[in-house]
């Protein structure tokens, strides 16, 4: 954390109550043990924080997008094959206070009516 105790871009992702997002919050109780081990590895290796930063950067560049659109736009701007990591990290960003859902609309990727994602008002970090 930085001097003002606000989460910064390079701090581990935290929930709105200030506690760090842990492996248990990345997997369901009925997930296979391999999924739980993978979640723990993401947290402890720093990969979760890195992917959250990429997701936030993508969200700030394309505000008002759906999760599928953000995945598509990340692949287009990075040239990296997408595996859904941007979409998967949006809820972590919401729990940390960096992102919010506001409204629904037809997704330009899936054609379904889905949630629209925005950076939170007063987000304490810049990508």
Domains of the chain: 23-119 (1.10.10)
Centre a 10 Å sphere on the Cβ of residue 36 and count the other Cβ atoms it contains. 16
pLDDT tens track for 8-62: 544 556 555 665 655 555 555 666 767 667 667 767 777 778 888 889 999 999 9
Centre a 10 Å sphere on the Cβ of residue 12 and count the other Cβ atoms it contains. 15
- The alpha carbon of 67 is separated from its chain's Cα centroid by a whole number of angstroms, namely 10
pLDDT tens track for 62-97: 999 999 999 999 988 887 766 788 998 998 899 888
Q: Is the pTM of this model over 0.85?
A: no
């Amino acid at each position: 954390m930085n001097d003002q105790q606000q989460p910064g871009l390079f701090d581990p992702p935290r929930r709105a109550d200030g506690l760090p997002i842990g492996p248990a919050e990345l997997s369901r109780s009925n997930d296979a043990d391999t999924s739980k081990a993978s979640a723990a590895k993401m947290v402890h290796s720093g990969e979760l924080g890195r992917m959250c930063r990429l997701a936030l950067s993508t969200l700030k560049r394309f505000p008002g997008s759906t999760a599928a659109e953000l995945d598509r736009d990340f692949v287009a701007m990075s040239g990296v094959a997408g595996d859904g990591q941007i979409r998967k990290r949006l809820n972590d960003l919401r729990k940390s206070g960096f992102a919010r859902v506001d409204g629904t609309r037809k997704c330009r990727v899936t054609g379904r009516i889905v949630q629209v994602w925005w950076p939170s008002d007063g987000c304490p970090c810049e990508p």
